[in-house]
Amino acid sequence: MSKQLARSARKRFGQNFLIDGRVVDAILASITASSSDTIVEIGPGHGAITEGLYASQCDLILIELDRDLVPGLLASFVSQSPERCRLLNKDVLKVDFTRLGSALRIVGNLPYNISTPLLFKLLERGDQIQDIHVMLQKEVVNRIAAAPGESAYGRLGVMIQATAHVESLIDVPPECFAPPPKVNSGVIRIIPDANKRALIESMDTLALLVRQAFSQRRKTLKNNLKNLLNLEDFEILGINPTDRPERLSVGTYVELANYLGRRQGNV
């Protein structure tokens, strides 16, 4: 079966089908789906995780780009319970999540090439998303979950942690997939937090500041942010201008961005 799945995987979609039942069970246990949930599964593939979600009696929305996989998903799930299971044969980056409902729970084995833009797209809709459980490249999981001072801590982690709680859940080696990818994978839980987001006065200013701060990791904040902040600004905020960007907490970046936005009249 795994050889058949490997042959059916299409490189242009970045497909690696999960085939390890123990990993599937661990993912389902972390999600704990129930009949009161509305779950959006991104990239269900051959339905390894879909089967367990479907069994929970939840309302299920499947988003699958590969036309060749649609007949199997329709036959196994949608046609069995069309009142609570539907399928969108679309590029998930083009899906309007505002039309899918509220309190959505997102599940997926994400292609590596779209994982970052998709997560940002989902978190923009954090007000209608309850939580996110996704499989990503392990390196990306580490970057999202990294704490200040860790080598993986950077722009991606700051921007996601600024609006959500994150937790690395499961490590998944290559042999759990067909075909096996060349990298390790991991499952992460992301829970959007409206209170965190409310502290950010301008997401655009925060994005600009964080991008600039981490533009050259080996340089100090004073050097990287010289076009945005001067030494007096650092003194007012009580931040050491000779620190490197990975030393600042997420909360400090939010404070810096709010200060910058007010000074520039953006908020």
**Is residue 241 a contact partner of residue 231, using CB atoms and an 8 Å limit?**
yes
Residue 99: partners with Cβ closer than 8 Å, 6 or more residues away: none
Report helix, strand or coil for 230: coil
What percent of the chain stands above pLDDT 70? 94
**Is residue 19 a contact partner of residue 1, using CB atoms and an 8 Å limit?**
yes
Q: Residue 163, Cβ neighbours under 10 Å: how many?
A: 24
Q: Which residue has the higher pLDDT, 130 or 12?
A: 130
Which stretches does DSSP call E strand in 11-163? 17-18, 38-42, 59-63, 85-88, 104-109, 129-137
Q: Superfamily assignment of 2-194 in CATH?
A: Vaccinia Virus protein VP39 (3.40.50.150)
Candidate from 11-20, 73-82, 238-247 with smallest mean pLDDT: 11-20
Q: Are strands 17-18 and 104-109 parallel, antiparallel or unpaired?
A: unpaired
pLDDT at 145: 98
Residue 7: partners with Cβ closer than 8 Å, 6 or more residues away: none
Residue 253: partners with Cβ closer than 8 Å, 6 or more residues away: 158, 162, 206, 209, 210, 213
CATH dotted code for 203-264? 1.10.8.100
pLDDT at 88: 98
Residue among 251, 261, 245 at smallest CA distance from 205 = 261
Report helix, strand or coil for 251: helix
Q: What is the pLDDT of residues 209-256, one digit of tens each?
A: 999 999 998 999 999 999 999 999 999 999 999 999 999 999 999 999
**Could you give the dihedral angle defined by the CA atoms of residues 143, 208, 235 and 231, in that order, rounded to the nearest 10 degrees?**
120
pLDDT at 6: 46
- Please give the Cα distance from 235 to 219 (Å, whole number): 19
Backbone angles phi, psi at 200, to 5 degrees: -90, 115
pLDDT at 13: 53
Asked if omega into 179 is within 30° of 0 (cis), the reply is: yes
- Please give the Cα distance from 221 to 248 (Å, whole number): 10
Averaged pLDDT, 258-262: 95
Average pLDDT, whole number, for the chain?
A: 93
- Which DSSP state fits 179? S
Listed by start position, the domains of the chain span: 2-194, 203-264
pLDDT band for 12, please (50, 70, 90 cuts). Answer: very low
Averaged pLDDT, 42-67: 96
Q: Is the pTM of this model over 0.85?
A: yes
Q: What are 41's strand-pairing partners?
A: 62, 107
What percent of the chain stands above pLDDT 90? 88
pLDDT at 263: 85
Distances (CA, A) of 95 to 12, 23, 40, 64, 100: 19, 28, 11, 11, 9
